[in-house]
Amino acid sequence: MWDESTGLMLLQGVGESLYMTLVSTVFAYLIGLPIGVFLVTSAKDGIRPRALLFKILDVIVNLTRSIPFLILLVAILPFTRLVTGTTIGSTAAIVPLTLSAAPFIARLVESSLKEVDAGIVEAAQSMGASNFQIVRKVLLPEAKPSLLVGGAIAVTTVLGYSAMAGFVGGGGLGAIATNYGYYRFQNGIMLITVVFLVLIVQIFQGIGMKIAISLDRRK
């Protein structure tokens, strides 16, 4: 069982898992970051309150976050096929991973931006800064450490989702654990995939925390 082909298979699984995780996280941030910013700026105490739009977006984010990943993955199979041309493989898994992670990331961004001292925002407003300038030069820079911690959390969450995607042909370590560890009762393969997943999580969390601490102005 532990021959060269097994090692190559596991390395390929690690590569596919990293590919799905990192690409999905980038796309999810492209969607979730502006949503999170809008939730903060359009809130009742935001720099540009928009009660109706805030309420609509808040409900949408809550609803999409409530859908279990596996159900979402199956439900949007036609959309996944439309975007990628297939529903099997690591590239196809990026679509549901992105859509599932985006609302979660929006909440992480919203929480991070809310931690910024309101006095700093008020000072920027008194100096005549526009709303865009406040977001770009005040909110995002001041929340950078918290955003990085949230980014590490997002990556590890998406990694967990990618492992679940393996149960329906998503590829990566999840597919290896399913096809060999579960269906073929090869407990050794199952164990090594778990070890790899734990190591990847610890690496991403460690890197994210170190960068966040180094950028924290309060230290």
pLDDT of residue 216: 66
pLDDT confidence tier of residue 3, bands split at 50, 70 and 90: low
pLDDT tens-digit readout, 176-216: 888 887 777 778 888 888 888 889 888 888 888 888 777 76
On whether the CB atoms of residues 32 and 104 are closer than 8 A, the answer is yes
The domain total for the chain is 1
Residue 55 has pLDDT above 60, yes or no: yes
**Higher per-residue confidence, 60 vs 181:** 60
What letters, b where the CB count within 10 A reaches 16 and e where it falls short, cover 75-100? ebeeebeeeeeebebbbbbbbbbbbb
Sign of CA dihedral 116, 120, 126, 132: negative
Residues comprising the chain, all counted: 219
pLDDT tens-digit readout, 4-25: 777 788 888 899 999 999 999 9
Quote the mean pLDDT of the chain: 87
- Report the C-alpha gap between 93 and 89 in whole angstroms: 6
pLDDT of residue 87: 84
Residue 217 has pLDDT above 70, yes or no: no
Single pTM value for the model? 0.88
What is the average pLDDT across 41-69? 91
pLDDT of residue 99: 94
CATH of the domain at 46: 1.10.3720.10
Nearest residue to 174 (alpha-carbon basis) of 5, 6, 3, 10? 10
DSSP H helical ranges for the chain: 4-41, 51-65, 69-75, 77-84, 90-114, 118-126, 131-134, 140-142, 144-165, 172-176, 187-215
pLDDT of residue 2: 61
What is the average pLDDT across 34-52? 91
pLDDT tens-digit readout, 86-141: 888 889 999 999 999 999 999 999 999 998 888 888 898 888 888 889 999 999 99
Domain that holds residue 174: 4-215
- Report the C-alpha gap between 188 and 138 in whole angstroms: 51
Which residues, other chains included, contact 70 with Cβ-Cβ below 8 Å and sequence gap of 6+? Answer: 164, 167, 168
pLDDT of residue 218: 54
Nearest residue to 67 (alpha-carbon basis) of 58, 78, 76, 55? 76
The number of angstroms, rounded, from the C-alpha of 131 to the middle of its chain's C-alpha atoms is 26
